[in-house]
Structure 1
Amino acid sequence: MSTRLAKRPLGRTGLEVTPVCVGGGPLGSMPRNFGYDVPAEQGVRTVLRAFEGPFTFLDTSNNYSGGESERRIGEAIRRNGGLPDGFVLSTKVDRAADGTFDGDQVRRSISESLDRLGLDRVPLLFLHDPEHIPFEDGVAPGGPVEALVRLRGEGVAEHLGVAGGPVGLLRRYLDTGAFEVLLTHNRWTLIDRSADDLIGYAHGRGIGVVNGAPFGGGILAKGAAAQPKYAYRSADEKILALVRHIETACAEHGVPLAAAALQFSMRDPRVSSTVVGISRPERVAETAEYATWDIPEQLWETLDNAAAPSSLWQW
């Protein structure tokens, strides 16, 4: 394995993960978010290819495609005869279809996930998108945080993380002391640096940092013309202009845009792993190539100063 893909410690959890994590979002087919369908067998074959390496970390969620991501991962686990040795699989507890997100729903969510995956426990379990409920409900007696802590005590999950968007809210959840891992998304990219202080805060306290969506939903992999959206929403013209500027700079140095976007996250020593959604078997090797592409320092001097104005960040 390339030294660039050597495993890194995930905070103080004791887990070691590769600097790239296979994202399970598109595995179950999410055409509204990603713009394309993923047939079931293709999803299963993609997971089986991921099990071959070089990545040893895969992340999914209870609500990705109504559980279809987990079903396909579970089928791949069954065909493979179990998870490969040293492979870390994480999933997330989610709110119910009616918006309920209390302690009972947390238990229902992980029970459904384990059934789909064919497992009796997971090494890492995230509280997913807590921005959909008031913080006070999240930490209330009998609420989701309390239920997660109990699940960890029962051995259903080895370690707990919080995964979501708004950086201020995630900071409040980290301050509860319940979480060992942070997963932020769309907020630490070539374009958006919203999560900088949050990542520093987590890292300084020994909390593992996982950074999701380094491509911002596709624009930082496909380019502004092919994908004029950032974080699944129409991008501001200033963002599109900056992406075009980044594309030009990468082309001048013979570097794929996706390689620069991925390595922007990977080269940050505070980030243990970067989540990349993968939906085709061949994308595993392609992503590994992007992760190890030689990028000259002159290009980084341009890219490190290429972010959009903070008024356009996700925060």
Structure 2
Amino acid sequence: MNPHRNRLGRTEVRVTELAFGAAGIGNLFTPVTDSRAEQAVTAAWESGVRYFDTAPHYGLGLSERRLGAALRAFPRDEYTLSTKVGRLLEPAPFTGGDDLANGFAVPATHRRVWDFSAAGVRSSIEASLDRLGLDRIDIAYLHDPDDHAEQALTEGYPALERLRAEGVLGAIGVGMNQADLLARFIRETDVDVVLLAGRYTLLDQRGLTGLLPLAEQRGVGVVIGGVFNSGLLADPRPGATFDYAEAPAELLARATELKAVCEKHGVPLRAAALRFPFGHPAVASVLVGTRSADEVRDAAAMLHRTVPAALWTELKDRGLLPADVPVPPE
């Protein structure tokens, strides 16, 4: 199998359209066994996925350890790996508690320390390499610098730029769930890629105003995460979540209408949600968080479903998508 890969900006780093998001195998919300985590990564590989993303934040390093262990079964030059910087993990006195306050069902053996300093970035990369047990990291993202923008811009970014110049990293970027600060990084730095979570979906197109056109103009690759908006676009039903909280009634109604139009055209809502971001030429990959082999296979199958042009047209006609939003070719 030789999966199609998109190049990130002006770098030689390439990513597959479907990326494996490894927060789930870091025990996001509920535990996953080592075996199921390995099976999920293997299923991704067998489905043609060659881009894998993790972070120290995910399960206090558990995601990095599990992902690295699973990927060691595959040729290193055949996949792209990204992790993130900005949260250092420091040992903490263990009193038997868990990390669910931060979203992860793991023992609270460490604490996260925000650090976008140059020394912090280098320390984070070294620690990630140790947990991964791999020889290199292809992409490093500044992770959620919302409340640390100035340090990330003046200290963290230059440190990543130096690591890129030294050949330690192939590409550098920023990952967030807001578009405005990502656009500032594109304007003020030489990032290769931005990871935008939850802000370019069938329900939320805030990334289209400013960020995506700027990325296209500057030749910066875009990876889209959160295409299901944490669940609502995967299965719109009462109690479904939008951005990790119960979806408001009006959003649930909108998602339900989106689902009805998709089904009218013989397309699962999940397939349309996964395909939608590729209407914009700046988008290189869609990152899907998966925690089992079945979820991985489903995502791969959905991404490759044909979505007829008539579906996008009807969504626009009904006001469910803006009239000027770019949509993928059939």
* TM-score range for the pair, normalised by the shorter chain length: 0.7 to 0.9
Q: 1:51-79, CA deviations, whole angstroms, 9 ceiling, x for partnerless residues? A: 3341111111121111111110111123x
SS at match of 2:297: helix
Contact 1:20 1:276 in 2 (8 A): yes
SS of the counterpart of 1:22? strand
Match of 1:162 in 2: 174
| Whole-angstrom CA distance in 1 between matches of 2:191 and 2:114 | 23
Question: Aligned pairs, how many?
Answer: 296
Structure 2 residue aligned with 1:11: 9
Separation in 2, partners of 1:184, 1:30? 19
**Is 1:18–1:57's contact at 8 Å kept on the other side of the alignment?**
yes
1:85-128 per-position Cα deviation (integer Å, ceiling 9, x unaligned):
42111111122323333222212211111011112321111111
Does the CA contact (< 8 Å) of 1:28 and 1:40 recur in 2? no
Q: Is the 8 A contact 1:77 1:117 kept in 2?
A: no
The 2-side partners of 1:296 and 1:192 are apart by 21
Mapped contact 2:142–2:152 kept (Cα < 8 A): no
* Partners of 1:101 and 1:117 in 2: CA distance: 21
CA 1:149–1:184 in 2, change beyond 3 Å: closer, same or farther? same
Query: Residue 63 in 1 paired to residue 57 in 2?
Result: yes
Question: 1:164–1:183: 8 Å Cα contact kept in structure 2?
Answer: yes
Question: 2:138 is aligned with what amino acid?
Answer: P
Task: Flag the structure with higher strand content.
Answer: 2
CA shift for structure 1 position 206: 0.7
Kindly tell me: are residues 307 and 192 of structure 1, through their superposed partners in 2, closer, same or farther at Cα, counting changes over 3 Å? Answer: farther
Question: Which residue is 2:105 aligned to?
Answer: none
1:27 corresponds to which of 15, 25, 28: 25
> Which of residues 140, 145, 162 in structure 2 aligns to 1:125?
140
Q: Which runs of 5+ in 2 are unaligned?
A: 89-111, 323-330
Equivalent in the alignment of 2:99 = none
Q: Secondary structure of 1:146's partner?
A: helix
* Alignment-derived partner of residue 216 in structure 1: 229
Equivalent pairs: percent with the same residue?
Answer: 36
1:139 counterpart SS class: helix
RMSD value, Cα: 2.0
TM-score, scaled to structure 2: 0.84
- 1:95 is aligned, of 60, 79, 87, to 87
Matches within 5 A, 1:35-50: 36-50=30-44
TM-score, with length taken from structure 1: 0.87
What is the DSSP-based 3-state SS (H/G/I as helix, E as strand, rest coil) of the residue aligned with 2:195? strand
The Cα of 1:187 is off from its aligned counterpart by 0.2
Question: C-alpha separation between the residues in 2 aligned to 1:55 and 1:74?
Answer: 15
Structure 1 unaligned segments of length 5 or more: list them: 309-315
Higher relative contact order (CA 8 A, sep 6+): 1
Structure 2 counterpart of 1:262, from 264, 274, 285: 274
- Alignment match of 1:191 (pick from 191, 203, 208): 203
Cα deviation per residue 1:243-284 (whole Å; 9 max; x = unaligned)? Answer: 111111122222111111101113433211110112111223
- In structure 2, the partner of 1:202 is 215
Indicate which of 136, 152, 157 corresponds to 2:164.
Answer: 152
Q: 1:198-221: per-residue Cα shift (whole Å, max 9, x none)?
A: 011111111111111111111111
Give the Cα–Cα distance (whole angstroms) in 2 for the partners of residues 221 and 198 of structure 1. Answer: 25
Contact 2:20 2:52 in 1 (8 A): yes
Question: Aligned-pair distance for 1:40?
Answer: 2.2
Q: Is the 8 A contact 1:181 1:208 kept in 2?
A: yes
CA–CA separation in structure 2 for the residues paired with 1:179 and 1:233: 31
